[in-house]
Amino acid sequence: MNRIYLDNAATTPLDKEVLSEMVNVMDNYYGNPSSIHAQGREVRTLIEKARKTVAGLLNAVPAEIFFTSGGTEADNTAIRCGIAAFGLKHAITSKLEHHAVEHTLDSLLKTGVIDKISYVNTDTKGNIDYDHLEQLLKENERSFVSLMHANNELGTLTDIVRVGEICETYDAIYHCDTVQTMGHYKHDVRALKAHFIVCAAHKLHGPKGVGFLYVNHNIKISPMIFGGAQERNMRGGTENIYGIVGLAKALEMAYASMEQHQKHIQGLKTYLKEQLLAEIPGIAFNGEHDPETSLYTVLNVSFPEMDMGDMLLFNLDINGISASGGSACSSGSNIGSHVLTAIGADPGRPSVRFSFSKLNTKEELDYVVQKVKYIVEQNVNV
């Protein structure tokens, strides 16, 4: 059975060109980039070339790019070190953020580093209330704001340029989790007005275990990881040279073909949405799902209540379809999606997140619709 992979928001297949670039480095470059001899210097050159590539694509300067082990480390560094650098006691976020943000802020509150977390109001589709954000900034002391670009479960997009402008008005420090949109949209950090944005290479056909943190040159933070002078004294530890080269190559390729891939993937998302609506009564969608307001790689589908609804993903899996999802948390239970719970989704309706890449086809989606329809018909409550 040829499996169909529709969980690209979780991770993407490594592009063969990226792999080739990484293998070349593995085969031919083995020096420690902190060493001053020839082998060390040539590896250091590769890292700085990758940094320059990333910075150029983001309209940043190389000194603003710091390589990390991925998006989670980048988020943690931005939040922990950004709050510490300015002695901030108040954070503003939403109930829809990734656990890398949510749990980090909860930890800072629990340990007394910050005194208060305020949550921006969101609607039933995951849109934030910009007026409420401004109200929170106005009513509280100088704040740290962490709001993501695209929700990883719903795909709902936030106007992060608008958020940046609001934060600038109230002198807030602004961190934006851009893990799901890096490589899928062009980010101009000079226009964005964010102090921090992040990347995980494996979300854009790059390798796992590597990412970067952008830190606006107008602010200065201390490191979270100590142990060496790597990354201009900002992150101790010998650099993941193979991963860094792979990240830069993947991002460069994503930018070069962005419009082409966006058109292809948006077509797949629209097609699947239309086919599911036509074939399955009672189908609905969580979050925004129109092209202007949602991430084109994600479609979150809400299915009718059914017997064995919690086995829906398992049934898809045994039919060769890889996807992810769940349901809102039931009363008295923490098991389930905190995002679906926050938007008031019906906990009785199972949900599946289908997420697409440049490698998916309409023929695959035809098979998915056929299998999903059969599974629902066999299990839907009458």
Which residue matches tokens 């530890």?
A: 237
In our burial notation (b when 16+ CB lie closer than 10 A, e otherwise), range 76-115 reads: bbbbbbbbebbebbbbbbbebbbebbbebbeebeeeebbe
**Residue 167 to residue 177: CA distance in whole angstroms:** 15
**Residue 197 to residue 220: CA distance in whole angstroms:** 15
- 130-139 helix and 160-169 helix, angle to the nearest 10 degrees: 20
Collapse the DSSP code of 295 into the 3-class scheme (helix H, G, I; strand E, B; otherwise coil) and give the result. coil
Which residue matches tokens 């009564």?
A: 281
Q: Which of 81, 167, 176, 329 is catalytic?
A: 329
**Residue 80 to residue 72: CA distance in whole angstroms:** 12
H/E stretch holding 16 reads helix 16-28
Residue 329 annotated among the catalytic residues of the structure: yes
CA distances from 13 to 5, 68, 179, 223, 330 (A): 9, 20, 16, 31, 34
Q: Centre a 10 Å sphere on the Cβ of residue 283 and count the other Cβ atoms it contains.
A: 18
**Residue 66 to residue 237: CA distance in whole angstroms:** 13
The runs of H, that is alpha helices, within the chain are 16-28, 38-58, 71-86, 99-110, 130-139, 160-169, 189-192, 230-233, 241-256, 258-279, 312-318, 338-342, 362-379
**Residue 261 to residue 265: CA distance in whole angstroms:** 6
Q: Centre a 10 Å sphere on the Cβ of residue 203 and count the other Cβ atoms it contains.
A: 29
**Residue 370 to residue 373: CA distance in whole angstroms:** 5
Catalytic positions are 329
